[in-house]
Amino acid sequence: MVIATRNKGKVKEIEKILKELGVKVYSLFDFPDMPKIVENGKTFEDNASKKARVISRHTHMLTIADDSGLEVDYLGGRPGVRSSRFSGKDADYVKNNRLLLNMMEGVPKSKRRARFVCVISIAKNGKVLEVVRGICTGRIGLRLKGQTGFGYDPLFIDPKRDKTFAELGSIIKNKISHRYRALKKAKRAIKRLLDN
């Protein structure tokens, strides 16, 4: 099975969650000649399905692709599908988090609601077979906290534990995250498809 991403953080996270399926998992690092896919869809579903279709057509393997991001209520749902490119052309985690903090400066705790969204599309031979969505609600912190994870993890606070995803560590995060919730829904379909 192929995970259609070049994001090392996502690869690690997805591999851990899918480990119990007992299947050999590849990523785009194993296929350096794969085309670069422009994520220009208007929704997470558009982008995940486009990636899954293209990569499955090239590899002839069952392919899962995700598109995920952060939606902040105060910002009208931004950064949304532009989460990884939020701070512009040369965006990286540091710049994206800095921009988000600047845009949220002075916003009270009660108006800092946010959600991580993950959409997973499963495809084979260029055809989408299943699309699932996972959501994890929380709020945006006032400053970066924690050392683990990637992306907006140092700013996204899980309200139940009152800690950022970066403070929780991967073991706890991988049991509550948006990606875990989406993959949990996708697991049954993946198992069924692998058995065929």
SS3 content of the chain, % helix, strand, coil (to 5): 45, 25, 35
33, 46, 67, 162: the active-site residue? 67
Instruction: Please tell me what DSSP assigns to residue 37.
Output: P
Examine the residue annotation and report whether 67 is marked as an active-site residue of this protein. yes
CB 64 within 8 A of CB 14: yes
Burial 59-93 (b: 16+ CB within 10 A, else e): beebbbbbbbbbbbebbeebbbbebbebbeeebeb
Give the residue numbers marked as catalytic.
Answer: 67
